[in-house]
Structure 1
Amino acid sequence: MIIEGKKEVLEVLRMPEAQFEAEVAPEAAKLRDERKDGSLLAMAMLGYDNICKNQCLYCGMRASNSGVKRYRLAPEDVIASARMASENGFHHIFLVSGEDPKYGFDNLLHIVEAIHGMGMHQSLACGEYSLEQYRELKSAGAEEYVMKFEMSDEETFNRLNPSTNFKKRMSAIESVKASGMRLASGNIVGFPGQGLDQLAEDILLMKKLDISWAPVIPYMPAQNTPLAAEGGVGDLLTNRKEIALLRLMMPDVNITAQQPGKDLRNGLADPEGNRDAILSGANVLFCDLLPDALAKNFRVIDNRNVSGTEHLYQIAELTGLALSF
């Protein structure tokens, strides 16, 4: 199947489920197996700081959400967690945080340099910085930076992200690319008010940006956030259609397979949700390094539930694919 533009993207997004399951998902999964050697990429993940200055209307860690117990891991604790992950066979770590001005950029550089010395691949998602700072992170050993545009419609972005704006976000995205790091970026699927036309534009923007990883998930309402009052969970089938489209449009891209299922209490470790995403072309799974007491407060969304390695092996067995650490 060739997806050349918005017309073809919308055809898939509007496609009946049975047709998608029979024609599109199998082709995307086959292409994933060809390009990823029939394996799933397992990343260690560490949310090292849940303090955030921003007021994004959809994020559970927004600054005014008093229901979240805040924490900030010391650099040496972050490094120790990465070392433990390395000793347990992980070769790739994803460091993610809220936008915390008081963490200290020098501390982040120290962490990246130390982990680089362990020989681990590093992906970071730590917020908007300057081009020079992104270049410093690249020099320290960071290889990939996650800077999501969230939604490609400027007016919608500015409403839902009042602490920044669309032009500033896109400038940060271009700075990541200019730094020499790979760009990971993507959208939120099915947030209240999003239509298929807007979703198609999101997908085309990911293609235009030539991303290395699409960390996309459906919208999941977070407690004590304004957007949660506007509507419920994004459509899971539509999310799977986006995964398949991204695989067909960008055969080598990494795509998050850690996806919810119908029972949201299972969070992103839902076996059915993970399996369905993989059957649609996704390939990336996570193991959260945070202890449970802290993990429950890294609440961009509620009920992430991706701690430990047991679920990684469960999903590998369920799908018949190997794990690549």
Structure 2
Amino acid sequence: MNAYCEARPVLFQPTERADISRLLTCEGEEQQALFQAARAARQAAGMDAVKLRGVIELSNYCQKTCDYCAIRPQNKEMIRYRMDVDTILAITAEIVAEGITTVFLQSGQDPKSDAMVLEAIRRIRQADVNVLLNLGEKSRATYARYVEAGADSYILKFETSDPVLYQNIVGTPLAKRLECARWIQDVGMKLGTGNIIGLPGQTLDTLVDDILLAQELQPDFVSSSPFIPNENTPLEHLGVGDLQLTLNSIAICRLLFPHALIPAVSALEKIKKGGQLMGLNAGANVLTINFTPKDFRDKYAIYSKERFVVSLDHAHATIAAAGLRPRQVANPVEVVSSYN
């Protein structure tokens, strides 16, 4: 058995490039030992309770031209929308009523939504829940305004640590992305970041560098997501990202960031039924439930038109199958009353 995957999993740490590279390609018994080590690290850190987030996809307008994403402005087939604050608050009430304590506002990089988002944050915070944002690259001042309004955390994935690959696929400098990530931390929000596995031109060395970059950023949340080919994009002809590489990356991140929130993303389930369960068994501890109404959700094609949409029932069944429990508020009714 791989010396890096053997007994005493709680003490196991991948500390060198060679360790990370070897673990990324673990298979069979070695891989199962890696997953066992990741679960042990999660348990030892007190992070076994699965965090539930309720996501609202509030706008599919975007400035970015990422080759993998269908909401890129070049996609003229996309029917665009932008929610208003009242719609967001109505959906928030549904999230809070389920006892979910994090409202996750996500959109394309849409500068015209900033004022609306600030108002939504202020009003959501009246319910005494956390507000997580994923809205793209903004100015430092805008991030600071989000904090003043009450936002707690922000996801800005770096996607790949390779600056040439990033420039080729995204069309903007990786350095700008990383500057924004540091601004998010500077203004006092928790940072979530991570990579996509399966981008064209990516190598094993690139994936090792991704993990090392995450270590450098020291995020509060970290993720690995498999690439999903998306209709009406330059990369629609590619295959999906490697599931086993993604699971191994999740497990390595758990060992390196034992106290982090690590999602089992919906793309895992898109690739393989039970994929999110596999993610939890590899050390993840977050599931994001989609509360976006269907008429909006169908237009938010960040993965594909046939993406897997995580329901509350699916999330609870997956958590139970993993032998874990959800982390929820004790009395959600009291939270809902904050809107009255």
> Normalised by the shorter chain, which TM-score bucket?
over 0.9
Which amino acid in 2 is paired with 1:207?
A: Q
> Unpaired runs of 5+ in structure 1?
none
Which amino acid in 2 is paired with 1:15?
A: C
* Change over 3 Å in CA distance of 1:156–1:318 after alignment to 2: same
1:98 deviation in Å?
A: 0.6
Q: 2:31 aligns with which of 20, 31, 34?
A: 20
* d(CA) in 1 for partners of 2:224, 2:252: 12
Task: Output aligned runs, 1:257-268, within 5 Å.
Answer: 257-261=264-268, 267=270
- Alignment check: 8 A CA contact 2:230 2:236 kept: yes
Which amino acid in 2 is paired with 1:247?
A: R
Instruction: Name the % identity.
Output: 28
Task: Output aligned runs, 1:301-320, within 5 Å.
Answer: 301-302=303-304, 303-320=306-323
- Alignment check: 8 A CA contact 1:217 1:256 kept: no
- Alignment check: 8 A CA contact 1:47 1:298 kept: yes
- Alignment check: 8 A CA contact 2:63 2:110 kept: yes
Q: Residue in 2 aligned with 1:296?
A: 298
Q: Residue in 2 aligned with 1:75?
A: 85
Which amino acid in 2 is paired with 1:233?
A: V
* Change over 3 Å in CA distance of 1:238–1:307 after alignment to 2: closer
Asked if 1:108 is matched to 2:110, the reply is no
Task: Output aligned runs, 1:225-264, within 5 Å.
Answer: 225-229=233-237, 231-261=238-268
Task: Output aligned runs, 1:31-70, within 5 Å.
Answer: 31-70=41-80
Q: 1:202 aligns with which of 207, 210, 215?
A: 210
Larger deviation: 307-316 or 88-97? 307-316
Please list the CA deviations of residues 129-177 of structure 1 after superposition, one character each: whole Å capped at 9, or x if unmatched: 1111111111111111111111111111111111x32121111111111
Moved over 6 A (4+): none
> Unpaired runs of 5+ in structure 2?
1-11, 329-340
* d(CA) in 1 for partners of 2:298, 2:16: 40
Larger deviation: 123-132 or 299-308? 299-308
Q: What value does the CA root-mean-square deviation take over the aligned residues?
A: 1.6
* d(CA) in 2 for partners of 1:97, 1:185: 16
Count the aligned residue pairs.
316
* d(CA) in 1 for partners of 2:26, 2:118: 46
SS in 1 for 2:104: strand
SS in 1 for 2:274: helix
Q: Residue in 2 aligned with 1:281?
A: 283
SS in 2 for 1:31: helix
1:247 deviation in Å?
A: 0.2
SS in 1 for 2:79: coil
1:216 deviation in Å?
A: 2.5
Q: Residue in 1 aligned with 2:126?
A: 117
| TM-score, structure 1 normalization | 0.93
Q: Residue in 1 aligned with 2:18?
A: 7
1:77 deviation in Å?
A: 1.0
Q: 2:198 aligns with which of 184, 187, 190?
A: 190
Which amino acid in 1 is paired with 2:79?
A: K
Q: Residue in 2 aligned with 1:158?
A: 167
* d(CA) in 2 for partners of 1:215, 1:45: 16
* Change over 3 Å in CA distance of 1:194–1:300 after alignment to 2: same
Which amino acid in 2 is paired with 1:273?
A: G
SS in 1 for 2:236: helix
- Alignment check: 8 A CA contact 2:57 2:292 kept: yes
Which amino acid in 2 is paired with 1:172?
A: C
1:32 deviation in Å?
A: 1.6
- Alignment check: 8 A CA contact 1:290 1:307 kept: no
- Alignment check: 8 A CA contact 1:116 1:141 kept: yes
* d(CA) in 2 for partners of 1:324, 1:178: 28
* d(CA) in 1 for partners of 2:46, 2:167: 36
1:69 deviation in Å?
A: 2.1
* d(CA) in 2 for partners of 1:212, 1:304: 27
Larger deviation: 115-124 or 252-261? 252-261
